[in-house]
Amino acid sequence: MINTLDIEINKASESRLSQVDFDNLPFGKVFADHMLVAKYEDGAWSRASIQPYGDISLSPASSMIHYGQSIFEGLKAFKNENNDVLIFRPEENWKRMNASAIRMCMPEIPKDIFLEGLRQLIDLDRNWVPNNSESALYIRPFLFATDALLGVRPSDTYMFMIITAPVGPYYMKPLHLKIETEYTRAAMGGVGSAKAAGNYGAAMYPAMMAQKEGIDQLIWTDAKEHKYLEEAGTMNMMVVINDTLITPPLKSTILPGITRKSFLELTKEAGFKVEERSITADEVISAVGTGELKELFGVGTAATTAQVEKLTFEGKSYDLPSSEHRVISNQIGQKLLRIKKGIDPDTHEWNMTV
C-alpha cells in the first residue's frame, strides 16, 4: 500500500514490552506502546497522530458520556511464519464502522485515516503481535462525541482512536446458551446492526441474570414475538440441521459480522448447503428432539467459532451433539483460522499484510 497519509508520530520513550508475560495475557488489560488519535472539528478531520498509549482528558460534559454517541470495531492481527503481520479484512471493519457512524449521526472516518493509520500503528508496534501462533493482537478502533454540551443533539466534535492489546490463545470450552424470551437486545428500526456502545451495556443485565443460573450467554430472539433466533452477545449464530447450514438473515436487529460473512463464503465454496433464513426457537428445539440438529455454534472475531453443547429454552435444557465430530463448524472454522494466520493461501485476498 502506498503511504499517502501523513501521520505525526510521537514515539514512546521506552517500550513496556519487556514487562509483559506473553504466556499469561489477561484479555484486554495489557495494551501496546502506542495509540492512534484523530480529531474531527469544524467539519473536517485533523492530521492523525500516533502517540504513546495513555490516558486522555475529556470535559465532564462530553456528549458521549451523557447521550452515548460512541461506536467501536474489533479485529485481530496474527503473525505468519515469515514474521509478517496479517490483519483480517480491515476494509470491512472500516465500512461497518462508517455504517454505524451514519446511524449514530457521527462523521464517517476517511479510508486512509482508518486503514493507513491502522497500518502505521501496527507497523510501529509489530513486536506486540505475539509470535505464538495461538495468540493475536486484538485491535480496537473507536469513535466518540466530544462536544462539552448538555443539549441533546449530535456533537460537532469527535475523536477517533485505535488501541491494541495482545491476547492469549482462545481456548474455549463448549458453551451453554439460553434462548432469551423475556429481555430484548435490539428491536426493528433500532441500533442493533450498529456496533454502538450502548447495545452492550444494555445487554449486561439479562446476561448476568442468566449467568446466575450457570448459563454462559444468551441467544437473543426478535423483540416482537421472541420466536426467531437473532444472535448472541458478540457472535452471529449458526445452526446445522441435517446437512444444511442455516443462519438468520441480516436486518436492523443483527450485527453484520465479518466472521459470519467469511464463514458463509467458505462454507458455500466447500460445497455445503447454506440457507440465510429466519429460524424459530421451536424449529431448533424440535430438530434437537428428532436428532436432525447436528451443530449449533456462534461465529465472531474473538473465538472464530464457539461451539454450543447445551441449550436452555423455556426452562428446559437440552444436550446437543458433541462438538468434536461436528463437520461444518470444525472444518470451516479451522480453514478460516488457517487463512487468518497465513497457513493456508489467502485466495480471497482477505489479509492486509504489514
Ligand X SMILES: *Cc1c(COP(=O)(O)O)cnc(C)c1O
257 and 306 Cβ atoms separated by less than 8 Å? no
Cα three-residue angle 9-13-19, rounded to 5 degrees:
120
Question: Does residue 74 belong to the site contacting ligand X (CB under 6 A)?
Answer: yes
Q: Which residue has the cell 458463509?
A: 264
Tell me how far apart the alpha carbons of residues 128 and 76 are, in angstroms, rounded to a whole number.
Answer: 12
Which CA distances in Å does 266 have to 167, 260, 274?
Answer: 26, 10, 10
Candidates 52-60, 171-179, 254-262, 330-338 — which segment interacts with ligand X by CB under 6 A?
254-262
Question: Does residue 257 belong to the site contacting ligand X (CB under 6 A)?
Answer: yes
Which grid cell sits at 324? 468434536
Among 259, 305, 307, 329, contact with ligand X (rule: CB under 6 A): 259
Which grid cell sits at 318? 437440552
Please give the span between the terminal C-alpha atoms of the chain, in angstroms, as a whole number: 9
Which CA distances in Å does 296 have to 216, 263, 286?
Answer: 14, 14, 14
Q: Which residue's CB is nearer to ligand X, number 62 or number 253?
A: 253
Q: Which residue's CB is nearer to ligand X, number 68 or number 321?
A: 68
Nearest approach, Cβ of 194 to ligand X (angstroms)?
9
Nearest approach, Cβ of 236 to ligand X (angstroms)?
5
Nearest approach, Cβ of 230 to ligand X (angstroms)?
9
- Count, residues near ligand X per rule CB under 6 A: 13
Nearest approach, Cβ of 255 to ligand X (angstroms)?
4
Residues 105-134 contacting ligand X, CB under 6 A = none
Buried b (16+ CB within 10 A) or exposed e, 193-226: bbbbbebeeebeebbeebeeeebbbbbbbbbeee
Helix (H) or strand (E) holding 218: strand 217-221
Q: Which residue has the cell 440465510?
A: 276
Among 106, 121, 215, 235, contact with ligand X (rule: CB under 6 A): 235
Which grid cell sits at 79? 503473525
Tell me how far apart the alpha carbons of residues 165 and 33 are, in angstroms, rounded to a whole number.
Answer: 10
Tell me how far apart the alpha carbons of residues 141 and 55 are, in angstroms, rounded to a whole number.
Answer: 16
Nearest approach, Cβ of 99 to ligand X (angstroms)?
12
Question: Does residue 258 belong to the site contacting ligand X (CB under 6 A)?
Answer: yes
Residues 289-318 contacting ligand X, CB under 6 A = 300-301
Among 62, 120, 236, 351, contact with ligand X (rule: CB under 6 A): 236
Question: Does residue 141 belong to the site contacting ligand X (CB under 6 A)?
Answer: no
Among 122, 136, 137, 255, contact with ligand X (rule: CB under 6 A): 255
Question: Does residue 267 belong to the site contacting ligand X (CB under 6 A)?
Answer: no
Q: Which residue has the cell 492530521?
A: 47
Candidates 13-21, 100-108, 134-142, 250-258 — which segment interacts with ligand X by CB under 6 A?
250-258
Q: Which residue's CB is nearer to ligand X, number 166 or number 257?
A: 257
Nearest approach, Cβ of 33 to ligand X (angstroms)?
25
Residues 165-204 contacting ligand X, CB under 6 A = 195
Nearest approach, Cβ of 76 to ligand X (angstroms)?
9
DSSP secondary-structure letter at 110?
Answer: P
Nearest approach, Cβ of 72 to ligand X (angstroms)?
9
Question: Does residue 206 belong to the site contacting ligand X (CB under 6 A)?
Answer: no
Candidates 135-143, 209-217, 258-266, 346-354 — which segment interacts with ligand X by CB under 6 A?
258-266
Nearest approach, Cβ of 101 to ligand X (angstroms)?
15
Question: Does residue 339 belong to the site contacting ligand X (CB under 6 A)?
Answer: no
Which CA distances in Å does 79 have to 92, 115, 339, 341, 344?
Answer: 20, 18, 12, 6, 13
142 and 134 Cβ atoms separated by less than 8 Å? no
Question: Does residue 247 belong to the site contacting ligand X (CB under 6 A)?
Answer: no
Footprint of ligand X on this chain (CB under 6 A)? 74, 195, 231, 234-236, 255, 257-260, 300-301
